[in-house]
Structure 1
Amino acid sequence: MNASVQLIRPSRHGDTRGWFTETYNRDTFAALGIECSFVQDNHSLSAPQWTLRGLHWQTPPHGQDKLVRCIRGRIYDVAVDVRKDSPTYGEWVGAELSAKNGHQLFIPIGFAHGFLTLEPDCEVVYKCSNLYSPANDGGIRWDSAGIDWPMPTGTALELSGKDKLLPTLAEFDSPFPYDGRPLAPLA
């Protein structure tokens, strides 16, 4: 069975030199129900504040579980349930990920993923459980799932041309099956 969306808070061990943290350990993650194998790492830089990337996924059979963290700056990271027949279809959860807090968000297959940069020059890295497949690349519009993005009213967002053309959630016919786990609030 797939793991649910989870906010991961790795421990940091610090001293006068700084800190050390373990961002991924197969056995630790398996104890949380996250048993996917990661095969690709991605790294993005979003220079302007209020850059919004998403909401994206890869369709079966090339779906991707993702483990996302922000290594410079601050982002608001979200996951939207897009699993057909899920009782929480269209619902979302979000969390602030930052270089300072070190939190990570695990997003399983069947969820749309996106993030908003809360300051300039944000770098985001994430692990994926499947390789990138352009033919399976998909998404929905950032403003079609009722997400309460933390930005001032009237903010001019930086969006890619591709993201501006994505269909709305209402127009989307999901190929993702429901796995029996409704979306739950982040602990």
Structure 2
Amino acid sequence: MTSANTFLIIDDDELFCRVLERSIKRRGYDVEVAHTAEDALLLANRHAPAYATVDLKLERSSGLKLLPELLRISPHCKAVILTGYSSISTAVEAIKLGAVNYLCKPVDAEDVLNSLLQTAPDPDAEIASHPPSVNRLTWEHIQRVLQENDGNISAAARSLGMHRRTLQRKLQKRPVKR
């Protein structure tokens, strides 16, 4: 049974979870926290959350793989994907898989709740005045190819025509700013 104020935070960053949990609890929600995909599914089965935040990169899993399972267990759950590694391809995929929004970290409780409670699309949303840099587009392309290869670095490196170790070095770097 889904309660209108149940909230599930799924993220492997324990400090971020504690801060977000405290902020959301202060706003009157019953909050559960999971640091792994397995724990998230157990909690979802027990509590059927109305809302959820799902980290894109979990320690041993992907938020994109977890999201459909979460929505199967709790079909009325509104979920937002959070990430420090944003790309257009993962944002599009998250929405296709059922996320109501996709936010780049750092975020706070206000950002999360606004994105989950927004009832209609915002046609006045700010549009970037500058196109993404070539480095950013390259980074997004690498992320898309990696996703198409289910996270297999060797297969992605072959698809990109580069050495596996070169790709690993590129993946260890932070995302390129726009």
Q: TM-score, normalised by structure 1?
A: 0.28
Q: Which has the larger radius of gyration?
A: 2
Which gives a bigger RCO, structure 1 or 2 (Cα 8 Å, sep 6+)? 1
TM-score normalised over the length of structure 2: 0.29
